[in-house]
Amino acid sequence: MGKTLTRADLIDALGREVGLSRNDCSDLLESMLEHLAKTLEKGQLVKLARFGNFSVRSKRPRIGRNPKTGVEATISARRVVSFKASQIMRERVEKG
Which letter does DSSP use for residue 54 in this model? E
Binding site for other proteins (CB under 8 A): 1-7, 9-10, 13-14, 17-20, 24-25, 27-29, 31-33, 35-37, 39-41, 44-52, 54, 56, 75-76, 78-81, 83, 85, 89-90, 92-96
- How far apart are CB 58 and other proteins at their closest, in Å? 10
Nearer to other proteins, 20 or 65 (CB): 20
- How far apart are CB 31 and other proteins at their closest, in Å? 6
Report yes or no: 77 and 58 within 8 Å, Cβ to Cβ: yes
- How far apart are CB 72 and other proteins at their closest, in Å? 15
Residue 42 Ramachandran class (φ > 0 left, ψ -120 to 50 alpha, else beta): alpha
Q: What is the dihedral of CA 7, 9, 15, 20, to 10 degrees?
A: 0
